[in-house]
Structure 1
Amino acid sequence: MSSQIYDVIVIGGGAVGENVADRTAQGGLRTVVVESDLVGGECSYWACMPSKALLRSGAALAAARRVPGAAEAVTGSIDVRAALKQRDSIASNWKDDGQAKWLESAGIGLVRGHARLTGAKEVTVTAADGAVTVLTATHAVVVSTGSAALLPDIDGLKEIEPWTSRDATSAQQIPERLAVIGGGVVAAEMAAAYASLGSTVTVIARSPLLGGQEPFAGELITAALKENGVTVLVGPSTTKAHRDENGTVTLTLDDGTTVAADEVLVAIGRTARTHDLGLDTVGLDTGDWLVVDDTLLIQGDSPALTGDWLYATGDVNHRALLTHQGKYQARAAGDAIVTRAAGTPVDDAPWGAHVATADHAAVPQVTFTDPEVASVGLTAASAVKAGYRIRILDYDLANLGGASVLAVGYVGKARAIVDLDREVLLGVTFVGQDVAELLHSATVAIVGEVPINRLWHAVPSYPTLSEVWLRLLEAYGRPGFTTEAAR
């Protein structure tokens, strides 16, 4: 057994953990990352990157087919082998040499193995060969272990060995028939990807797809999936799963119907990766999401937590299960750790750099289906629930000059939610081809609380999809004037 002392110990070497470590190392603190799997984590190898690579071929082909001239040039279907090869490249062939080399270049230590808290500021790491290393932190320990796929208690499900998102994004063969249990982002994206790659796909969702978004988002995605040959069953639940001797899976639904498939992807949600981290040694519940404040400091009344030393960033704190939000939290936490290590109150930080406030009401998210769904802030329903007095502005993106250039028969919609009392935006949702790149403008407007009367002077270029901003403002009218007064 060996022992080492660092200023900061980061448990989890995914994108979030890397960003925490980078921030603290740049702040002059000796930092080490502990990783039991691949450095780079879920996003690099099994989530964001490979999933978007799987989706890209189908989306690009569909976009070309919507443009006369290009459509006539497209005479074949997707080369599945080439698409999977590109996905493998995007996922670095599931090797982390490059990421490990980056840690070294940044002056960040790496210890491979399973980490467990064994006391205040103490982490014990057990390597694959059984070697044990005890790490001690002088300032902080950060839990960045992420989340894992949640598997429901369905009779026979475990025995059929269902896919999780990891299996779906790393599969080397495309099943003839794929059943997807769930209706969220992962379910919608993987249904779209596998349908484009040749699978016969059936989605089984208890509620309408993309339930946390504006209702029209799920409706448009459902329609697009069906148009691409996907069967979407909304309402029934899966009660039983069985795989026969030939490998065929039969799913029994609670309405008495059955679905046959070669593989089953379960995408119903996530669970915290906190089951074997030794959280009980510092008075925290094992297996739970970790509650943090806006500096990402874990909250709890255990005496072991005194001294502002234990943090949680990314999925594991359940604030916003998105890589970009986790990296945002990582930067805030890293800055807070460096500031506290210097003995400076976090409240004295310039421009609020050391707090993660965007998680509360300004979380941008893109579902990379075809069409894309891009949203930030509150939906109409959540704004009303929060007590805001709102106005809903809707616009059909097909009416934009930029949309007509992109595609014949462009399908899309935009919605903006306005706080009538302050005349600022609370939320924006775009659905349509190539709308993802519109999202940051909406995020800036919401986070910056830009008044509507100032947005009038942010002139969109023509012909682009950005013209939607002008159309939404026209729908609202001149701020401070009633329709009658304006006339």
Structure 2
Amino acid sequence: MGRRTGRAGPGADGSDLRRGLPARGVNRPNRSSAAPHPPTVGQVSSDTVGSDHDTFDVIVIGGGPAGENAAHYAIAGSDRTAALIEHELVGGECSYWACMPSKALLRPAQILGAARHMPGVEEKITAYGVHVADVLARRDAFTHRRDDSSQVLWADAIGIDVLRGHARITGRCAVSVDGDRPRTLRARHAVVLATGTVATVPDAPGLRAALPWTSRDATNLVEIPRRVLLVGGGVVACETATWLRQLGVEELTVVVRGARLLPRVEPFAAAAVTDMFGRHGIDVRFRTEIRNVARDDARDTGIGRIHGGPATVDLDDGSTVEVDEIVVAAGRRPATEGLGLGAVGLEAGAATSVDDHLNVTGADGTWLYAVGDVAGRAALTHMGKYQARVCGDVIAARAEGRDLDHPRYRATADHDQVPQVIFTEPEIASVGHTAASARAAGLDVEVLEVDLAVAGSALARDDFTGHAALVVDRATDTLAGATFAGTEVAELVHAATVALVGKVPLDTLWHAVPAYPTVSEVWLRLLETRRP
């Protein structure tokens, strides 16, 4: 989720670039004192939901990017009211502890790497590595030093009431808030769950007592440990390993329970990251788990600070590693503990599931929605925002008595059309199926593969490398998936996403001519592999 630093609310050009939200007209401030609306079919009359002072049309629990988008789309261009409840920071995990700080940490080293492989520029580079203090300062600028005041101002400007505190569902369309002024809120039309996920720490002996870092510490690091043990082999773990090494961690050991890194991507892409880890001196241990951790003086010194003295870690491969910090990136769980799901007939503290209108399955009626990571679909910020846009439009349509017989009211991109970029070295950009997942889904597929060796890549930098693969559904001759692994390939994935979502036949793609000399010329090379 992009953020425009030093600017509160919508941008001066009339758009809100921080959230990817459109500049929609708001006729007047939307507040809970607005006149009540007549109930629509399936909704709750204002007479049944309590005093108007604590009554809103829409209540959103969770103030991250998904929650912000859901609230905005549900009320935009109307006199409907919305409350956004957040017990931490408005902007959520993405703004302060995930997408924004992680990419801010990764980018400087990418630029340095490009400069070091460009004749005429490399001779001017004298520093060995990045200037850590400046990198951290730039990161802090993007996170506003975990100050959410500008995002609160944005919400206020478009008529969203921001309420601080923990929320709990107490019944149909009823939510209690335990903030400075405990209160019970009522929703005329909808309650939206947008609480996200929280990091989990495995129950290995001594690990939790050692107070290891989680992703929040790693993205907000203040001190650079000299020796680190990193637990995990997924996206968060691999990106974290990348910037830790780039920022100066001298000894980095990665412990992976499985047989490979990044098990959900194409094998060639995972192998490229594994190979690069080896070149950078990162010690990756596959099929390995922690047996025991000892850290006598573990103490909570604050986010991103080393949590005590050295830790001794016994691994089940028989080795022992002494490190200055342990980083756990071994999974996340839905943040539904204490949310009150049991009050409406759902399993307390469990994951939720949703239909394509984003209504929570198992809940009575159509008043309860979930978006973002907690919805149990694609745990990616851009997909959470996408779900929220659909959800907000569904709520608005139902509130205005409109039918939902239109594609915009269904979240279909979650079904095998999800794009993702993994900002490792090399980058991995993908959408849809891998060859293996397509075949597991029963598709008859053809795989087209080439190296990323075109004029555009050669001109970009001297060490440009990479590989690309298209997974083609033989029955329709359209894309079922695409993967690009290589130097700065992130921008290649949207073309593949458009082709996949639009079900563009490969014969038609022949006429989508890539500009010369760009890296996108790889599309021509891929299509040429099918020539007789």
Normalised by the shorter chain, which TM-score bucket? over 0.9
Work out which of the residue numbers 86, 90, 93 in structure 2 matches 1:42.
93
Deviation of 1:225 after TM superposition, in Å, equals: 1.7
In 2, the alpha carbon distance for the partners of 1:110 and 1:12 equals: 10
In 2, the alpha carbon distance for the partners of 1:72 and 1:210 equals: 36
Work out which of the residue numbers 224, 228, 233 in structure 1 matches 2:280.
228
* Coordinate RMSD, CA, aligned: 1.3
Deviation of 1:244 after TM superposition, in Å, equals: 4.2
For the pair 1:192 / 2:250, whether they are aligned, the reply is no
Equivalent residue runs for 1:188-267 within 5 Å: 188-200=238-250, 201-207=252-258, 208-245=260-297, 247-267=309-329
For the pair 1:286 / 2:383, whether they are aligned, the reply is no
Q: Which amino acid aligns with 2:334?
A: A
In 1, the alpha carbon distance for the partners of 2:395 and 2:93 equals: 25
Deviation of 1:371 after TM superposition, in Å, equals: 1.1
Partner in structure 1 of residue 3 of structure 2:
none
Work out which of the residue numbers 412, 416, 424 in structure 2 matches 1:357.
412
1:424-480 deviations in whole A, cap 9, x for unaligned?
010000011110001100000000000001100000011111001000000122xxx
SS at match of 1:359: coil
For the pair 1:56 / 2:107, whether they are aligned, the reply is yes
Equivalent residue runs for 1:312-323 within 5 Å: 312-323=370-381
1:3-40 deviations in whole A, cap 9, x for unaligned?
60000000001000000011012052211100100000
Deviation of 1:241 after TM superposition, in Å, equals: 1.3
SS at match of 1:361: coil
Deviation of 1:307 after TM superposition, in Å, equals: 2.8
Partner in structure 2 of residue 162 of structure 1:
212
For the pair 1:424 / 2:478, whether they are aligned, the reply is yes
Aligned length: 468
Contact 1:25 1:106 in 2 (8 A): no
Q: Which amino acid aligns with 1:346?
A: L
Deviation of 1:140 after TM superposition, in Å, equals: 0.3
Q: Which amino acid aligns with 2:140?
A: D
Contact 1:115 1:277 in 2 (8 A): yes
1:87-108 deviations in whole A, cap 9, x for unaligned?
1111111000100000011111
SS at match of 1:186: helix
Q: Which amino acid aligns with 2:512?
A: A
1:90-139 deviations in whole A, cap 9, x for unaligned?
11110001000000111111111110001110000001x4x311110000
Partner in structure 2 of residue 80 of structure 1:
132
SS at match of 1:100: helix
For the pair 1:466 / 2:520, whether they are aligned, the reply is yes
Partner in structure 1 of residue 64 of structure 2:
14
Work out which of the residue numbers 187, 200, 207 in structure 2 matches 1:137.
187
Contact 1:27 1:338 in 2 (8 A): no
In 2, the alpha carbon distance for the partners of 1:11 and 1:292 equals: 16
Work out which of the residue numbers 415, 422, 425 in structure 1 matches 2:469.
415
In 2, the alpha carbon distance for the partners of 1:82 and 1:286 equals: 45
1:24-73 deviations in whole A, cap 9, x for unaligned?
12052211100100000000000000000111111111121121222211
Deviation of 1:275 after TM superposition, in Å, equals: 0.4
In 1, the alpha carbon distance for the partners of 2:291 and 2:270 equals: 24
Deviation of 1:229 after TM superposition, in Å, equals: 2.1
Range with bigger deviation, 230-239 or 108-117: 230-239
Contact 1:183 1:210 in 2 (8 A): yes
SS at match of 1:63: helix
Partner in structure 2 of residue 329 of structure 1:
387
TM-score, length-scaled by structure 2: 0.86
Contact 1:236 1:254 in 2 (8 A): yes
In 1, the alpha carbon distance for the partners of 2:167 and 2:194 equals: 11
Deviation of 1:287 after TM superposition, in Å, equals: 1.9
1:306-329 deviations in whole A, cap 9, x for unaligned?
331000000001200000000000
SS at match of 1:68: coil
Partner in structure 1 of residue 400 of structure 2:
342
Partner in structure 1 of residue 169 of structure 2:
117
In 1, the alpha carbon distance for the partners of 2:503 and 2:229 equals: 43
Q: Which amino acid aligns with 1:52?
A: K
Q: Which amino acid aligns with 2:379?
A: L
Partner in structure 2 of residue 4 of structure 1:
54
Instruction: Mark the runs of 5 or more structure 1 residues left unpaired by the alignment.
Output: 478-482
Partner in structure 2 of residue 480 of structure 1:
none
Identity of aligned residues (%): 49
Equivalent residue runs for 1:392-407 within 5 Å: 392-397=447-452, 399-407=453-461
Q: Which amino acid aligns with 1:308?
A: T
1:245-267 deviations in whole A, cap 9, x for unaligned?
57111221111112221111111
Q: Which amino acid aligns with 1:419?
A: D
SS at match of 2:529: helix
Contact 1:64 1:71 in 2 (8 A): yes
SS at match of 1:346: coil
In 1, the alpha carbon distance for the partners of 2:421 and 2:456 equals: 20
In 1, the alpha carbon distance for the partners of 2:322 and 2:448 equals: 43
In 1, the alpha carbon distance for the partners of 2:455 and 2:503 equals: 28
SS at match of 2:415: helix
In 2, the alpha carbon distance for the partners of 1:379 and 1:94 equals: 37
In 1, the alpha carbon distance for the partners of 2:348 and 2:123 equals: 58
Work out which of the residue numbers 219, 226, 229 in structure 2 matches 1:176.
226
Q: Which amino acid aligns with 1:82?
A: D
In 2, the alpha carbon distance for the partners of 1:234 and 1:78 equals: 30
Contact 1:204 1:233 in 2 (8 A): yes
1:344-384 deviations in whole A, cap 9, x for unaligned?
2212x3xx111111001110000111211000000000011
Runs of 4+ in 1 over 6 A off after TM superposition: none
Q: Which amino acid aligns with 1:370?
A: E
Equivalent residue runs for 1:365-380 within 5 Å: 365-380=420-435
Greater percentage in helix: 1
In 2, the alpha carbon distance for the partners of 1:320 and 1:454 equals: 29
Q: Which amino acid aligns with 2:352?
A: L
In 2, the alpha carbon distance for the partners of 1:233 and 1:172 equals: 27
For the pair 1:452 / 2:502, whether they are aligned, the reply is no
1:181-230 deviations in whole A, cap 9, x for unaligned?
00011100010001000002211112211110001111100111221221
Deviation of 1:414 after TM superposition, in Å, equals: 0.4
Partner in structure 2 of residue 440 of structure 1:
494
TM-score, length-scaled by structure 1: 0.94
